[in-house]
Amino acid sequence: MSFSLDLFAPFMGSRALAVIAVGVIVLTSLVLVLSAIMFTHHILSDRKRRRNGQRFQGAAVFLAPHIIANEAELLDYAQQARRRYGDRAVSLVLQRSRYDLKGETSLSVSHVLNKIGTVDRLLREVRSRREWKRAAAVRGLAECGGDRAIAVLLDAADKDETGDVRRSAREGLLLDSRPESVQAAIASFLKDLPRRAGWRRSFYARLASASSKELMQLINEKKLAGSEEKLALEALGDAGASEAIEFALSRLSSEDAELRATAVRLLGKLGTLDHIPQMLARLEDSEWFVRAAAARGLEWMASHTRDSMTRHHKECCRLLGAGLKDKSWWVRANAARGLAHQGQLGIDVLFRAGEADDNYARDAALAALALAQLSTEQQTRLRMILRRLEEIPEIDPVERVPFLDPLGGLA
């Protein structure tokens, strides 16, 4: 009692001060209690997260050798792993593995996910009222694959009220890659074209990987126009769909410069030696980004056709060399990178530009030479050029303006 009296003694004279003091003490206590609760929660959730991580990694190490074995062995070990590491960890490892694998192995992982009850759990969760839970369940089912999962994905891609769920369902259907799944994914996509270009690009990339013919058909039937057609063509180029080459060739002289650039990029990725003259012609296009795309395309072509560009070699080096003097930085940089892939002749052109007075061409040439495959003598030559450049002062000290001195004083 004497303690509490002593504590409030300074405030005894004023009731208001006493109320404030009590308020401060109550608030401080509340803050302390809440901090303690948050701290404990953080410690516990962190421990849980770490334990889950360890279980996941343990299950991955335990299961990986059996995933690539046969289905019977995998099922046996998956049951053992569930007892050791828990259902969630085992399901996650198998779902992720299915994403990384192809063919029979991927199918057997799918069967095992069905047999250990993962698909049943996700089928229950997909009926949830919560959107995030439904979307997660649909993504999980997409990872599991198999007839039961696909039936639910077909339904969700068409009828689910949430865009996120429909999108996840479409991605799952494309992963399945059976014709009816792909058709359903396309129908769902065309019905509600996603707003964001990134989502559309992602769909085209998946479709090109699952069935490039279907995507090509969409383009031919003019169901994708304008910027969509370009996104689809980029996806076909990335997926290595050679059936798109003819279409790209027909768009090389399109009035739409962006479409010309897209077609040039596609040819760079997929074209053969026969297409080099068309690529070279685009190096002289009126638009800088088409010229830049052509220079880049020639670099890609050189890296996949290797040393077999001999027929057009000289012309290619001449035009790329002219590209080093282009007014656009992108064209200069890409032309230099292209030259670095043109063997000795290309390297010689780069060295000549590196030693010349044109600063813009020199910078692009030296940047490309730094990445090129050079002999010991060429490396020495490059070092000498760089050393010489270091000796050239950028600003004449006589002309330096005193108040621009970095130390703030007079120079």
Partner 1 sequence: MKIPIKRQQPPIVIAEDNFVTARLLASSLQAEGRSTVIARDGDEAVALINKFNPDLLLLNLNLSRPSGVELLRTLQLHSSRLRVIALTTPGQADMKSVATSLGVTGFFEVPFYPAELGKQVRLVLGPQDR
Stretch that binds partner 1, among 110-118, 153-161, 234-242, 382-390 (CB under 8 A): 234-242
Which lies closer to partner 1 via its Cβ, residue 18 or residue 219? 219
CB of 85 to partner 1, least distance (A): 13
- 29 or 80: CB nearest partner 1: 80
CA dihedral sign, ordered 270, 276, 280, 282: negative
CA 198, CA 284: separation in Å to the nearest integer? Answer: 31
Options 246, 373, 394, 404; binder of partner 1; rule CB under 8 A: 373
Residues recorded for the chain: 411
Please, what is the minimum distance in Å from the beta carbon of residue 62 to partner 1? Answer: 10
Least separation in angstroms between residue 191's CB and partner 1 is 26
Q: Which one among 15, 83, 102, 196 touches partner 1, defined by CB under 8 A?
A: 102
Residue 251: CB atoms within 10 Å: 19
Question: Burial, 161: exposed, middle or buried (Cβ in 10 Å; 0-12, 13-18, 19+)?
Answer: exposed
Please tell me whether residue 97 binds partner 1 under the rule CB under 8 A: yes
Helical packing angle, 329-340 and 288-305, nearest 10°: 10
Q: Binding mask 148-177 vs partner 1 (x if CB under 8 A, - otherwise)?
A: ------------------------------
Kindly state the number of chain residues that form the binding site for partner 1, as judged by CB under 8 A.
Answer: 37
**Of all helices (H) and strands (E), which one includes residue 384?**
helix 376-391
57 binds partner 1 (CB under 8 A): yes
197 contributes a contact to partner 1 by CB under 8 A: no
**Centroid of chain to Cα 278:** 30
Selected range binding partner 1 among 8-16, 91-99, 180-188, 284-292, rule: CB under 8 A: 91-99
Question: Between 96 and 115, whose beta carbon lies closer to partner 1?
Answer: 96
Residue 396 is classified by DSSP as -
CA angle 207, 208, 211 (to 5 degrees): 75
Q: Which candidate, 318, 387, 390, 371, places its Cα nearest to that of 348?
A: 318
Task: Say whether residue 203 binds partner 1 (CB under 8 A).
Answer: no
**Cα–Cα distance between 264 and 301 in angstroms, integer?**
11
- The footprint of partner 1 (CB under 8 A) covers 56-57, 60-61, 64-65, 67-69, 93, 96-97, 99-103, 105-106, 205, 208-209, 237-240, 268-269, 299-300, 303-304, 340-341, 371-373
